[in-house]
Structures are given as structure tokens and as C-alpha cells.
Amino acid sequence: ETGVTQSPTHLIKTRGQQVTLRCSSQSGHNTVSWYQQALGQGPQFIFQYYREEENGRGNFPPRFSGLQFPNYSSELNVNALELDDSALYLCASSLPGRLRGNTEAFFGQGTRLTVV
């Protein structure tokens, strides 16, 4: 059973650029969520994808967008990067439905994005 993997692990971008982060979900999991963890903060929910559709969204602007593919892997795209977008971006996979019982979210190691 493979775990959640994210790529790249580190990335440096310039303000105004666009970035794409990738995530492969854990085997058997068809629900993927993305979180942003700024320095000294807890992870903040960006959005979730289930069956290739957005299933819920946190308080993030539209320049944060995502995709889920038929193999359940996912991408997070951020346009017009700002300095405050510098953070650890975490992907989590889970089974569908309520986040409880055996549907706990399993996280990848994250992508550290630095915007300069």
C-alpha cells in the first residue's frame, strides 16, 4: 500500500508567477484535500476533490484552483503568486464521506513553496 506522495518537495517562485503542485493519493482513496500551512500556524483547508469535482472550499481566493484526475491524483494551481503564499502545502487523501472513523485524512510530506 503506497502512501500519499507530493511533488516537488521544495520550490522557489517569483511574485506574479504561477505554480502547480502535485499529489498522488493513498491506494484506495478517492478523496483529496489540500491544506496551506504558514509558518507557526496550523494547516488551513483550501479545498477538497471527490470524483474529479470540487467538494468543498475554504476561505481562499479563486487564484487557488485544483484538479483531480481519474486515477485520483490531484493538482493545486496558484496564479499570480504573492509573497504571503509562501507556505507548506499539504495534500491529504481519505475515503469519501464524513471525516471520522476509518475516513481519517492521511497527509503527504508537503511541498515547501517560497515566493520571492
Positions touching another protein (CB under 8 A) are: 4, 31, 33, 35, 40-45, 48, 50, 55-56, 58, 90, 92, 98-100, 104-110
Nearer to another protein, 43 or 66 (CB): 43
Least gap, CB of 5 to another protein (angstroms): 10
| C-beta pairs of 68-72 under 8 Å, 24+ apart in sequence | 68/32, 72/25, 72/29, 72/30, 72/32
Nearer to another protein, 92 or 113 (CB): 92
Nearer to another protein, 76 or 92 (CB): 92
d(Cα 102, Cα 90) in Å, to the nearest integer?
Answer: 20
**CA distances (Å), 97 to each of 16, 25, 33, 71, in order?**
36, 16, 12, 18
